[in-house]
Amino acid sequence: MSQRTDRDAEFTAFLAADSASLARVALRLTGDPEAAADLLQSVLVKTYLAWPRVGPNGALAHARAAMGAPSGGEEPNTGDVDVPLDLDHVLAEGHNALRGRRLGWTVAGLAALAVVASILTPILIAATVPPAPGASPATSATAQATPSVRPSPVPELLGTVWQVAGFDGVAFGPSRTMTARFDGGVVSGFSGCNTFRGSYSLEGSTLVVESVASTAKGCPGAAGQEERAFLKALARIRGYEAGLNGPVLVGEDGTPLVALVPLTPDATTWRLADLAGTDQVGAGITLTVAGDELRGDSGCGEYVADLTREGSAWTVSNLAITTTIRCPEAANRRATRYLTALGQVTKAELDPFRLTLTGPEARLSFAPAAG
């Protein structure tokens, strides 16, 4: 059994034995179920990451210390708070973290969070299930709280357009976009400034990426350094595992290298690259998708519109200009063409390099905004 599997098995046993008491401590410390969920999630992730140092014998003391609970095993006297832990909130927070919306989460932390959620979920659910006839509550809970050590590899790795949530110790916010798709032996995507393409081999959960090459657009400063680091991380991938909302690509020793989540139109700001077959890379026209709203810059002022979505089918309505600036006549005509086409959109398609919006008389192609 590998060291990684040993740790997961030991951590599973720790959660089965002590998660309920830690949840009670968190509730009594905070007096609020949502705050308790946040506290417990954070503490369990810290404990999982510290496992090689604290081990099974020191895990409970470490978790209580990280939680700010008194030592010696006594529970804090902050009044009786008999509110069940909101597991949905824990998992929702995990999804937010995995998508990189909380800066400071490392890839190792994101992978740990996935392990914590996968192990903790059946344990907390078991606590709410009545015991089987003839079984004691303790026996029933223990039997139902024996989860698999690791979720199975994500079968949707192939063909899905992924957004990079983090890599090699760096967690991203939603404004910094890198993408990847594995399909037909080819891995391709956008690395922050350039597009890249390489080959991969896949056997079970063993994944090897090779011969990655990228376009040669100059990318100065931190953005260029991050892009180079990401491409180097791709070359070190030797497998993948299941995360909360997508695969985690790992190195030869199981170290998490790249965390992936499905790319959605809402994931980033988009820059218009093509309007009806005409290059618009330098036009400064942008699009942001936010739930049921579109907004952006037409190049001559800001705009907003309502958006109705059903799968890839889009309906854009109530398009309005919110601010205007003085523009040359050519820029004004381009802005008018863009907004007219945007109002005619009926379909959206994503690939690793672009968001394409089309309609009966409209075709707009957007690239992720770099940086």
Please indicate, yes or no, whether residues 81 and 64 belong to a single structural domain of this protein: yes
pLDDT in tens, 227-237: 888 899 999 99
In a domain, 210, yes or no: yes
Please indicate, yes or no, whether residues 198 and 307 belong to a single structural domain of this protein: no
In a domain, 343, yes or no: yes
**Listed residues 115, 144, 173: the one ending a domain:** 144
**Helices vs. strands in the chain: H and E counts, helices first:** 8, 18
Domain of 356: which CATH number?
2.40.128.270
Please indicate, yes or no, whether residues 13 and 114 belong to a single structural domain of this protein: yes
For residue 149, the model assigns a pLDDT of 37
Provide the CA 60 distance to its chain's centre, in angstroms: 29
In a domain, 149, yes or no: no
**Listed residues 235, 263, 291: the one ending a domain:** 263
**Listed residues 99, 119, 144: the one ending a domain:** 144
pLDDT in tens, 211-252: 999 998 877 777 788 888 889 999 999 999 877 678 888 888
Identify the helix (H) or strand (E) that includes residue 319. Answer: strand 313-321
Identify the helix (H) or strand (E) that includes residue 1. Answer: none
Q: Quote the number of domains for the chain.
A: 3
CA 296 – CA 309 distance, rounded (Å): 18
Q: Which residues face 242 on adjacent strands?
A: 247
DSSP annotation of 150: S
In a domain, 162, yes or no: yes
Please indicate, yes or no, whether residues 19 and 137 belong to a single structural domain of this protein: yes
Angle formed at CA 238 by CA 237 and CA 241, multiple of 5 degrees: 90
In the predicted structure, residue 168 carries a pLDDT above the cut 90: no
In a domain, 86, yes or no: yes
Check if the beta carbon of residue 337 is closer than 8 Å to that of residue 303.
Answer: no
Please indicate, yes or no, whether residues 241 and 271 belong to a single structural domain of this protein: no
Please indicate, yes or no, whether residues 58 and 172 belong to a single structural domain of this protein: no
In the predicted structure, residue 150 carries a pLDDT above the cut 70: no
In a domain, 351, yes or no: yes
Please measure the distance between the N-terminal and C-terminal CA atoms of the chain and give it in whole angstroms. 42
Please indicate, yes or no, whether residues 212 and 118 belong to a single structural domain of this protein: no
Please indicate, yes or no, whether residues 196 and 298 belong to a single structural domain of this protein: no
Radius of gyration, alpha carbons of the chain: 24
Range(s) of the domain holding residue 315 = 266-368
Check if the beta carbon of residue 119 is closer than 8 Å to that of residue 15.
Answer: yes
Name the band, by pLDDT with cuts 50, 70 and 90, for residue 97.
very low
Site of tokens 């968001």: 355
DSSP annotation of 158: B
In a domain, 70, yes or no: yes
Q: At what angle do helices 33-49 and 51-67 cross, to 10 degrees?
A: 160
For residue 289, the model assigns a pLDDT of 93
Which comes out higher in pLDDT, residue 80 or 7? 7
297 in helix, strand or coil? strand
Q: What would the two tokens of residue 117 be?
A: 């959620």
Q: At what angle do helices 3-30 and 33-49 cross, to 10 degrees?
A: 150
Please indicate, yes or no, whether residues 52 and 181 belong to a single structural domain of this protein: no
Check if the beta carbon of residue 14 is closer than 8 Å to that of residue 56.
Answer: yes
CA 162 – CA 282 distance, rounded (Å): 26
Give phi and psi for 310, each to the nearest 5.
-140, 95
Please indicate, yes or no, whether residues 40 and 65 belong to a single structural domain of this protein: yes
Alpha carbons within 13 angstroms on the beta-carbon side of residue 282 total 0
Please indicate, yes or no, whether residues 124 and 159 belong to a single structural domain of this protein: no
How confident is the model over 259-273, as a mean pLDDT? Answer: 87
In a domain, 150, yes or no: no
Amino acid in position 90: V
Please indicate, yes or no, whether residues 353 and 239 belong to a single structural domain of this protein: no
